[in-house]
């Protein structure tokens, strides 16, 4: 099954925002976000296996498989209109790798926004990605922790974290894709300091911003719309 879900189609000349949700999360709630974006903006979400409408799909073979598939699905869109890649937490690493692959194919995204996400070097020493149940449960949304749903919610979370086992930081930064990073003032999972390395991952780094948000609020429609605005949806941002 395809990895992309379409929520709105971009009007001629407008950008398409591609959202990569955090580990364990699905993208179907992006239906609420479409109305918060500027009129005419396209909105796509990346849906990994094991959740929502892909509940029964088998886990991917690794990070490369996910990146290859998503990049392949985005190529036609990238050829027709500008892409803004917006990655949240672990989704930022996926977005970053897709940005690299798009650049290599001559179809660089207009910009990359990484939010609430440790920079790549933190993942290069990531262990076997098999932490105990209680450790994973602590990463869940507060409304799910301690409920009967928690033991099911950790399954896609564990699967997503396994994608990062053995991750190697690319030697070269993004050359043609400007990057900006955003952290949450109330985020207790990822700190601004843990995001500092993102400034080295793109030749054009457009700064770091701190907003008043907790880790699990980055998927809220208003927050996502603000993040997309940071990417300058209607103007060129390449320096």
**pLDDT band at 19, cuts 50/70/90?**
very high
Q: What is the pLDDT of residues 92-139, one digit of tens each?
A: 999 999 999 999 999 999 999 999 999 999 887 766 556 666 666 556
Using an 8 Å Cβ cutoff, are 227 and 91 in contact? no
Helix 63-80 to helix 90-104 angle (10° resolution) is 60
Averaged over 12-23, what is the pLDDT?
92
Report the pLDDT value the prediction gives residue 141, as an integer from 0 to 100: 64
Give me the numbers of helices (H) and strands (E) for the chain, helices first please: 6, 7
The encoded tokens of residue 208 equal 């770091």
Q: What three-state secondary structure class fits 211?
A: strand
β-pair type (111-115, 42-46): unpaired
Classify residue 202 by its DSSP letter: B
Global pTM reads 0.89
Whether the per-residue pLDDT at 237 is higher than 60: the answer is no
The model's pLDDT over 168-219, given as tens digits with 9 standing for 90+, comes to: 999 999 999 999 999 999 998 899 999 999 999 999 999 999 999 998 889 9
pLDDT band at 238 (very low <50, low <70, confident <90, very high): very low
Work out the number of other CB atoms within 10 angstroms of the CB of residue 52.
14
pLDDT for residue 117? 95
């Amino acid at each position: 099954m395809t990895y992309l879900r379409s929520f709105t189609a971009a009007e001629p000349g407008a950008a398409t925002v591609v959202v990569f949700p955090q580990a364990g999360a699905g993208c179907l709630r992006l239906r609420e976000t479409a109305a918060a974006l500027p009129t005419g903006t396209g909105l796509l979400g990346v849906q990994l296996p094991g959740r929502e409408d892909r509940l029964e799909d088998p886990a991917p073979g690794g990070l490369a498989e996910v990146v290859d598939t998503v990049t392949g699905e985005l190529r036609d869109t990238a050829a027709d209109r500008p892409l803004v890649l917006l990655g949240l937490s672990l989704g930022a690493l996926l977005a970053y790798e897709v940005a690299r692959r798009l650049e290599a194919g001559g179809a660089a995204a207009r910009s990359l926004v990484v939010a609430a996400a440790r920079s790549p070097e933190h993942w290069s020493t990531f262990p076997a990605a098999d932490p105990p149940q209680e450790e994973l449960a602590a990463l869940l949304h507060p409304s799910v922790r301690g409920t009967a749903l928690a033991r099911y919610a950790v399954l896609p979370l564990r699967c997503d974290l396994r994608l990062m086992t053995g991750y190697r930081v690319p030697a070269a930064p993004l050359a043609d894709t400007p990057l900006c990073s955003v952290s949450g003032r109330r985020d207790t999972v990822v700190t601004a300091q843990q995001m500092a390395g993102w400034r080295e991952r793109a030749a054009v780094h457009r700064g770091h911003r701190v907003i008043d948000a907790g880790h699990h609020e980055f998927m809220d429609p208003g927050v996502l719309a603000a993040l997309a605005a940071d990417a300058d949806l209607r103007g060129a941002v390449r320096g």
